Structure 1
């Protein structure tokens, strides 16, 4: 059963009781991410996330680690483009401790000057590590090229220049301006009673007030183009993509099936053709990155530089095919069952259920039941997938990003015809 309560100060609390499990996962979500940052302070949300584990008024960073380890629990956080989340997973008997620990980190972190400088070095190393991992780095390059000057295109971790510029005063001011009641969702799933959860969090978070001003960003725009970033690598890494739908779009189920058929699994068209039949790549897949008002569908492949043209042509051919030929009944049914199965299997863990609760609140403002989701897939037809393919696969929004050795002969944007 899912319950939702809005506290007096506007904080939303959602929970789902799962009596069959021993654990409970609880997360504090703030609906402000890297897309709400200016260019000069890109990475501030991620920097704050790191600092929240470096000590509070009553707990050192070692105390925090020892307390969660002592009960076999998990304590962590992650930053996205539209939110940041701090979460804990513990046995249900330790929920009181987990809530107190999360609240202490969230409300009372000290932001010690020495810790800020140490963590700044850690984040600069994280940036370097990302740039040394080409099959990760290329996705940031793709976002930069696809979203152009929009904040969605900037790296979540920031740049060396922006991270170096962040002062303690600015970090505290940014936290104060975004970690406020109407930006906060507290989500919990597992062996948890909703009323007991409300009693735990209400007093701890009652001091938080509303945001003084609400951060907004412009609707992102995108064009088409080809970008080659030179790096001395054994493989050529490429991302070829186009626009996709926002998180809450009415036709999102068609987009999920479209992605599953194109490159979203081992049985997908691209995996079978590029890897299994022709042996052109070890890794090839497609994915959808959806946001509140926009999205992108991206195909990634790592291949030999001399096979680039073949791989690109196969990707374009499969995109054209989705526009011209409706899915077979077998393909459509298989994609539906695959996605339904993935969702059901993912919800066997309390942490995934907690994330689902929070994301539903972020993007829909309400709970999306499994029955609603399964019905959404059932309503998809081969014709509706083909119609969406014709809309999304357009030269006007097609972007190609390549990461590899210098001297590459680039295809022109006009040659990427679908």
Structure 2
């Protein structure tokens, strides 16, 4: 193995009482990345195993595949049954589970220090030799189908689904993590085996672990578990994904609901875009918490919203910025106008220096609070690595946030908040009023 880097990373933002935690990063001979942080304060070790194997890597006709794989990965290996796995984990009070995301797949574990080696060996089995029992695949597939059907009855779920399809077309980001009823219904164990064989390989894996363990001992343990796992001769597939094109439109669903769900959406910068962090600050300003601009102006002052906020997820490909509101159907037209007005305002009215500093403090404070536990630390540094940002992005993130100017905020708002996509779900009269107001505005 070769040691790539060694850092001393403080919590963010730097505080006089912050304790520097040693971090070491290595690449094993098989191409696997390992990140280790020692934290002697707590007798807990948490690990995250990241793979580039999320929804972005699924064929469209198999949307939901990585979700189904996450649901059944822990249900058996070539050596152990589902019951044996559960008994081993639960007998020592450990936790183990798998998750899929738009851009990656994660296996997460947490144990007391004394049990970590055994649970890591189990994790190695799950990643390398899962059995995907037919009965478990069928059960989880049926449960996913039931969940997808229930989403059809939730106005915001319907509104987000139709907005994603409008934004992304045939890009995998158009689909909910579980895919659709049509795609989930035809997934089989063979699909899982093929996806696993393609993407579950050591040169596509990042292991990030933090806790009461010396870095050298942790790396040696990871090598014992994964070191004999050789990558296949074939390279990883090259993705040929479509680039979303901005084509603003209005999409609607008539549903007999007590409130209308309204989403105003825009395509937005990917994580490697220089405008990613300024737009994260804009999202914090507009939609983060009870003091956010949307909450104060549209709910507290104008009484338009049952719920109101914004979101801007981190994505490898073009992301989306969405301002959304749940409102009384009779307020649909005013709600759409209010959301659009708040986004457009950032294009023409600069933030004050005080407003920008408050938003920076808020985002950096929340960032620091998200790095308090070993599990959170393992998550964030592994996440940075799997996204191609590297662990040094922790420090860069804080520095770039502090360097963002008022002009940057306004420039990014002008770039992103042009003519919007609009998604409306609600009673027929509310939808008609929303479409009419949108047509007038366009």
TM-score by length of 2: 0.89
Do residues 216 (structure 1) and 251 (structure 2) align? no
Using the TM superposition, give the Cα deviation of residue 255 of structure 1 relative to its aligned residue in structure 2, in angstroms.
Answer: 1.0
Alpha-carbon distance between aligned partners in 2 of 1:77 and 1:354, rounded to the nearest angstrom: 15
| Cα-to-partner distance string for 1:212-264 (whole Å, 9 max, x where unaligned) | 44241325213211000222221111211112211122232211111111222
Q: Identify the range of structure 1 (62-71 vs 169-178) with the bigger mean alpha-carbon deviation.
A: 62-71
In structure 2, do the counterparts of structure 1 residues 413 and 218 end up closer, same or farther at CA, with 3 Å as the change threshold?
farther
Alpha-carbon distance between aligned partners in 1 of 2:395 and 2:72, rounded to the nearest angstrom: 40
Alpha-carbon distance between aligned partners in 1 of 2:33 and 2:440, rounded to the nearest angstrom: 50
Using the TM superposition, give the Cα deviation of residue 382 of structure 1 relative to its aligned residue in structure 2, in angstroms.
Answer: 1.0
Q: Indicate which of 414, 425, 438 corresponds to 1:403.
A: 425
Task: Classify the secondary structure of the residue corresponding to 2:169.
Answer: coil
In structure 2, do the counterparts of structure 1 residues 319 and 197 end up closer, same or farther at CA, with 3 Å as the change threshold?
same
Using the TM superposition, give the Cα deviation of residue 169 of structure 1 relative to its aligned residue in structure 2, in angstroms.
Answer: 2.0
Q: Where do residues 1-400 of structure 1 align in structure 2 (5 Å cutoff)?
A: 1-205=22-226, 206-210=228-232, 212-222=235-245, 223-368=247-392, 370-395=394-419, 398-400=420-422
Indicate if the aligned counterparts of 2:50 and 2:386 stay in contact, CA closer than 8 A: no
Alpha-carbon distance between aligned partners in 2 of 1:92 and 1:138, rounded to the nearest angstrom: 45
Using the TM superposition, give the Cα deviation of residue 413 of structure 1 relative to its aligned residue in structure 2, in angstroms.
Answer: 5.3
Indicate if the aligned counterparts of 2:36 and 2:219 stay in contact, CA closer than 8 A: no
Using the TM superposition, give the Cα deviation of residue 303 of structure 1 relative to its aligned residue in structure 2, in angstroms.
Answer: 0.7
Q: Identify the range of structure 1 (129-138 vs 244-253) with the bigger mean alpha-carbon deviation.
A: 129-138
In the alignment of these two chains, the number of paired residues is: 415
Alpha-carbon distance between aligned partners in 2 of 1:34 and 1:190, rounded to the nearest angstrom: 30
Task: Classify the secondary structure of the residue corresponding to 1:3.
Answer: strand
In structure 2, do the counterparts of structure 1 residues 415 and 76 end up closer, same or farther at CA, with 3 Å as the change threshold?
farther
Alpha-carbon distance between aligned partners in 2 of 1:136 and 1:353, rounded to the nearest angstrom: 31
| Cα-to-partner distance string for 1:276-307 (whole Å, 9 max, x where unaligned) | 11221121001102311311111111111110
Using the TM superposition, give the Cα deviation of residue 369 of structure 1 relative to its aligned residue in structure 2, in angstroms.
Answer: 5.3
| Cα-to-partner distance string for 1:72-94 (whole Å, 9 max, x where unaligned) | 22212211111110111112222
Q: Identify the range of structure 1 (13-22 vs 308-317) with the bigger mean alpha-carbon deviation.
A: 13-22
Using the TM superposition, give the Cα deviation of residue 370 of structure 1 relative to its aligned residue in structure 2, in angstroms.
Answer: 4.3
Alpha-carbon distance between aligned partners in 2 of 1:270 and 1:116, rounded to the nearest angstrom: 43
TM-score by length of 1: 0.94
In structure 2, do the counterparts of structure 1 residues 287 and 372 end up closer, same or farther at CA, with 3 Å as the change threshold?
same
Alpha-carbon distance between aligned partners in 2 of 1:182 and 1:71, rounded to the nearest angstrom: 31
Using the TM superposition, give the Cα deviation of residue 21 of structure 1 relative to its aligned residue in structure 2, in angstroms.
Answer: 2.5
Indicate if the aligned counterparts of 1:225 and 1:413 stay in contact, CA closer than 8 A: no
Q: Identify the range of structure 1 (254-263 vs 335-344) with the bigger mean alpha-carbon deviation.
A: 254-263
Alpha-carbon distance between aligned partners in 2 of 1:207 and 1:255, rounded to the nearest angstrom: 41
| Cα-to-partner distance string for 1:14-41 (whole Å, 9 max, x where unaligned) | 1222222222211111102112222211
